[in-house]
């Protein structure tokens, strides 16, 4: 049975006024549950915002407030068979990374998948993955770049990976991924963020951090490598690779 991984990104690799870049979304085998949940909450939010129910609009995270975003997120987090995921990149500690945004994006998606496989998630016990991405993503130039890269990387475990670009305004699952990506971005980039506190099951998010050993450290500290080992949180709380 096919496993779907739906991803969106929040922030940008080239922006200097934000420290963390995020790629996030969810894993599921039952995409219809996510679509139905989004449609249900969309009706509630449209009424709150006085938008006609029959009017087609994309309720992006940037166009709704925290309370409305929390309605979507709590509905998603409550679904059985749906696992929120993310990789958070500490750009302040990538001074020697030197990759183009295209190569970097492919690399981070690969690392997110490798991390998830290490977590031994039952939903990922499959040999058929469909990766669904927002086609507004300018970091990846062509679908085949990422698809070929991932198929080559995971060939040794007999994993077939297909990549689909989708227009978020026509795909509710991608819109849900947008809410998760924005949630994680706020969690790491805003000191006084409150959105995650509104999500009752936020601790169930699988989060990979890159680069792991330097993540969150001040890159100007000369003795950074002499600190004690980083504490690894227990699954399924905010976990690290």
User: Residue 173, CB half-sphere, CA atoms under 13 Å: how many?
Assistant: 24
Strands 82-90 and 20-28: antiparallel
Domain of residue 12, residue span: 3-226
Contacts of residue 190, defined as CB under 8 A and 6 or more positions apart, other chains included, come to none
Where is pLDDT greater, at 96 or 57?
A: 57
The percent of residues above 90 in pLDDT, for the chain, comes to 65
Residue 96 lies in a domain: yes
Strands 82-90 and 206-210: parallel
Residue 233 lies in a domain: no
pLDDT in tens, 206-224: 999 999 999 989 887 644 4
Residue 207 lies in a domain: yes
Residue 240 lies in a domain: no
Residue 146 lies in a domain: yes
Cβ(214)–Cβ(224) below 8 Å: yes
Return the CA Rg of the chain. Answer: 18
Where is pLDDT greater, at 143 or 162?
A: 162
Q: Give the pLDDT score at 155.
A: 77
pLDDT category at 41 given cuts 50, 70, 90 is very high
Where is pLDDT greater, at 60 or 139?
A: 60
Q: What is the CATH number of the domain that holds 197?
A: 3.30.420.10
Number of helices and strands in the chain (H, E) = 5, 6
Q: Residue 89 phi/psi, 5° resolution?
A: -105, 125
CA separation for the pair 199, 34 (Å, rounded): 17
Once rounded to an integer, what is the mean pLDDT over residues 6-23?
A: 91
- Selection from 31, 28, 226 nearest residue 116 by Cα: 28
Once rounded to an integer, what is the mean pLDDT over residues 4-10?
A: 96
- Structurally, the chain folds into a number of domains equal to 1
**CA 82 from centroid of its chain's CA atoms:** 13
Residue 239 lies in a domain: no
- Whether the full predicted model's pTM is greater than 0.75, yes or no, is yes
Residue 231 lies in a domain: no
Residue 52 lies in a domain: yes
E strand residue ranges, the chain = 3-10, 20-28, 82-90, 128-134, 160-166, 206-210
């Amino acid at each position: 049975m096919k496993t779907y991984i739906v991803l969106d990104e929040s922030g940008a690799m080239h922006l200097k006024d934000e420290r963390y870049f995020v790629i996030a979304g969810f894993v599921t085998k039952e995409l219809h549950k996510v679509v139905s949940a989004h449609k249900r909450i969309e009706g509630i939010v449209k009424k709150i915002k006085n938008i006609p129910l029959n009017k087609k609009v994309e309720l992006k995270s940037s166009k709704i407030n925290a309370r409305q975003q929390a309605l979507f997120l709590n509905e998603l987090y409550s679904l059985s068979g749906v696992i929120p995921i993310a990789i958070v990149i500490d750009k302040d500690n990538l001074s020697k990374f030197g990759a183009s945004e295209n190569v970097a994006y492919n690399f981070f998606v690969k690392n997110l998948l490798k991390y998830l496989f290490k977590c031994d998630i039952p939903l990922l016990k499959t040999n058929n993955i469909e990766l669904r991405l927002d086609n507004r993503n300018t970091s990846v130039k062509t679908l085949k770049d990422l698809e070929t890269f991932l198929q080559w990387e995971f060939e040794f475990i007999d994993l077939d990976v297909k990549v689909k670009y989708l227009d978020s305004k026509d795909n509710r699952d991608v819109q849900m991924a947008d809410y998760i990506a924005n949630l994680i971005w706020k969690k790491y980039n805003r000191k006084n963020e409150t959105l995650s506190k509104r999500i009752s099951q936020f601790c169930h998010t699988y989060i990979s951090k890159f680069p792991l050993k330097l993540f969150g450290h001040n890159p100007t500290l000369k003795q950074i490598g002499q600190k004690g080992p980083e504490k690894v949180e227990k699954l399924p709380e905010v976990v690290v690779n």
